[in-house]
Amino acid sequence: MRVLGINAIFHDPAAALVVDGHVVAAAEEERFSRRKHGKRPYAFSAWELPEKAARWCLEEGGLEAGELDAVAYSYDPALVEPGLGGHEAEWEKLRTLYARRAPLMLAGALPGLDPGIFRYVPHHVAHAASAGLAAPGPGDGDVLVLDGRGESHSHLAGTYADGALTTLAAQRLPHSLGLMYEDLTEHLGFLRSSDEYKVMALASYGGPRFADDLRQRVRATGDGGFEVGRIDWAALAKPLGDGDEWTEDHADLAASVQLLLEEVLLDLTGWLHERTGSSRLTMAGGVALNCVANSRLAADGPYEEIWVQPAAGDAGTALGAALHVAREGGDAITAMPGAALGRSWDEAELAHWLDTAHVPYTRPADLAGTVAEALAQDKIIAWFQGRSEYGPRALGHRSLLAHPGNAANLERLNAVKGREQFRPIAPMVALDRASEIFEGPIPSPYMLFVQNVKPEWRDRIPAVVHVDGTARIQTVTRADEPLVADLLAAFERRTGVPVVVNTSLNTAGRPMVDDPRDALECFGSAPVDLLAIGPFVVRRQEVFAR
């Protein structure tokens, strides 16, 4: 089957193409439109479809819209229960209306598409498939989905056997761990449905002194579900506005909510494991991007193996919906080949972009060595290589790189990106060296867990050590990322340090860089010393010396 997956209903609109059970392409609309998260998650924005991402997926697969066997849409309006939206129930009717009109609207955007091949996939089933069907290894195992909301639920716990999902529990709205975390995000002055990772970072600066009070309102129910009552955030810490400085109260509140989230997750996974006895858990949903909670599950939970979908947020439901429909159509599903599922350009195309921009560039004989030498000299590198990543993490394809041995590089990179200074930056390390330096879930190829930095290494790589002594690492193998492996080896030869700082190639409020124009704009507007774009190198001193 040739299945196009579509996510559009809330935020992070995306498209994915699955052909005969193989993942061909997946991309988020924000990378094309340059609007962070594609759109805001309002009911009146549900009509906005990932048209550019969908067109590119078809182009990448060499297909016309009329050649598709199915379009899988990751939301089923028939499952919306009236009244669950509370005071927003009228808005919910608008969201449902747009979902029902999506087949005709998409057909208008993709000429030749037959609206009759449209399939609605329940939101959390799409999340589940993005993990349970896409994960490497054997297809059987448990799956846990937690996010803000789907049609009428905020959670799914189930198990896969022979590629078929059995749902064992689902928490009805209004109870939602994801929405609770979004509420706190907004209370702390950040953008909800966007900046939840900032709350997770802030939690490391505080202690959970509000946890006992909050446990009266947030708790597991012992039957595979949970309750989230109304929380008076202002009684615990005053709300923060734009530009306000956070205090100990705010850090402690973040730490308290983070602890409660972890405790409920441990209860939910314990309940699920008791019913299946499986050794393997896959996870998706926005809450699964909480790498601190994931590491707590890995350390204290009942599962021997945990795999998290790298596009665990709503963008991943485009892939999950397509995989689910392909599986129901009889296709054998092949695990996703990695997160590098987006656009790429060959050498001739990249050279044309650079020539058009009239920037001087060179093609070094040893790209990895050239970049490693610049890193050893404490230069900041914009790294643009291969296919762009699917999901929110830069994984060595659209990255900013720096020397981890200079503690000032944390502040320096946060300034380059325009980020809050309490936010950490991440290390990447060869898989066969990771356990020498870090303790925790290894391998970790998608930066979805945190690891403790061994004490003897904390002074050697201070830029990537968070305030609590942890780091969110990316492990690299030569088989998957040969160029990055070469870079890490070349950097170690020059410095004795087998770790490089890796953070996303973008500035605050902007999506990750995707195409060569984005890379050149970011390079030109931020104090980056060198751009490594394909086999070519652009040096800032040469560009601005002219």
Per-residue pLDDT reduced to its tens digit, 318-371: 999 999 999 999 999 999 999 999 999 999 999 999 999 999 999 999 999 999
56's tokens: 């590119």
Whether residues 529 and 514 fall in one domain: yes
**Residue 407 DSSP symbol:** T
Is the predicted pLDDT of residue 88 greater than 80, yes or no? no
Measure the CA dihedral 254/257/262/265, to 10°. -140
Residue 445 is part of a domain; what is its CATH number? 3.90.870.20
Q: Say what the pLDDT of residue 87 is.
A: 52
Q: What is the 3-state secondary structure (H, E, C) of 442-476?
A: CCCCCCCCCEEECHHHHCCCHHHCCCCCEECCEEE
Q: Say what the pLDDT of residue 119 is.
A: 98
DSSP for 213-280 reads: HHHTTEEE-SSS-EEE----GGGTS----TTPPP-HHHHHHHHHHHHHHHHHHHHHHHHHHHHH--SE
Whether the ω angle into residue 174 lies within 30 degrees of 0, i.e. cis, is yes
DSSP for 355-388 reads: HHHT---B--S-HHHHHHHHHHTT--EEEE-SSP
Whether residues 288 and 390 fall in one domain: no
Mean pLDDT of the chain: 96
**What is the mean pLDDT of the segment spanning 124-128?**
98
Q: Using one digit for the tens of pLDDT, what is the confidence trace for 2-29?
A: 999 999 999 999 999 999 999 999 999 9
Count of positions (residues) in the chain: 546
Whether residues 285 and 382 fall in one domain: no
**What is the mean pLDDT of the segment spanning 155-167?**
97
Closest CA to 516 of 351, 399, 370, 341: 351
Helix (H) or strand (E) segment spanning residue 523 = helix 516-525
**What is the mean pLDDT of the segment spanning 236-249?**
94
At 166, is the pLDDT very low, low, confident or very high (cuts 50, 70, 90)? very high
Domain count, the chain: 3
Q: Say what the pLDDT of residue 546 is.
A: 63
Determine, yes or no, domain membership for 341: no
Measure the CA dihedral 228/234/236/239, to 10°. 110
Whether residues 400 and 282 fall in one domain: no
CB atoms within 10 A of CB 103: 19
Please report where in the chains the tokens 């590491």 appear, as a residue: 295
Q: Say what the pLDDT of residue 378 is.
A: 98
Whether residues 357 and 399 fall in one domain: yes
Please report where in the chains the tokens 């770790």 appear, as a residue: 499
Percent of the chain residues topping a pLDDT of 70: 99
Determine, yes or no, domain membership for 98: yes
Q: Say what the pLDDT of residue 86 is.
A: 53
Whether residues 102 and 185 fall in one domain: no
Whether residues 504 and 412 fall in one domain: yes
At 90, is the pLDDT very low, low, confident or very high (cuts 50, 70, 90)? confident
Determine, yes or no, domain membership for 338: no
Q: Say what the pLDDT of residue 242 is.
A: 82
Q: Say what the pLDDT of residue 85 is.
A: 53
Residue 50 is part of a domain; what is its CATH number? 3.30.420.40
Whether residues 143 and 247 fall in one domain: yes
Q: Say what the pLDDT of residue 282 is.
A: 98
Whether residues 243 and 392 fall in one domain: no
DSSP for 75-143 reads: --GGGPPTTTTGGGHHHHHHHHHHHHHHHHHHHHHSTT--GGGEEE--HHHHHHHHHHTTSSS-S-EEE
Determine, yes or no, domain membership for 500: yes
Determine, yes or no, domain membership for 108: yes
- CA dist 478 and 316 (Å) reads 26
132's tokens: 């349970």
Cα–Cα distances (Å) from 187 to 245, 254, 514, in that order, read: 13, 10, 32
Q: Do 322 and 19 contact (CB within 8 A), yes or no?
A: no
Determine, yes or no, domain membership for 337: no
Sign of the CA dihedral running 47, 51, 53, 58: positive
CA angle 280, 285, 291 (to 5 degrees): 70
Domain that holds residue 273: 136-308
Is the predicted pLDDT of residue 472 greater than 60, yes or no? yes
Determine, yes or no, domain membership for 335: no
Q: Say what the pLDDT of residue 336 is.
A: 97
**What is the mean pLDDT of the segment spanning 402-406?**
98
Determine, yes or no, domain membership for 366: yes
At 311, is the pLDDT very low, low, confident or very high (cuts 50, 70, 90)? very high
Q: Say what the pLDDT of residue 137 is.
A: 87
At 98, is the pLDDT very low, low, confident or very high (cuts 50, 70, 90)? very high
Q: Say what the pLDDT of residue 544 is.
A: 84
Q: Say what the pLDDT of residue 465 is.
A: 98
Contacts of residue 365, defined as CB under 8 A and 6 or more positions apart, other chains included, come to none
Q: Say what the pLDDT of residue 84 is.
A: 63
Whether residues 539 and 514 fall in one domain: yes
Whether residues 113 and 201 fall in one domain: no
Q: Say what the pLDDT of residue 117 is.
A: 98
Whether residues 439 and 482 fall in one domain: yes
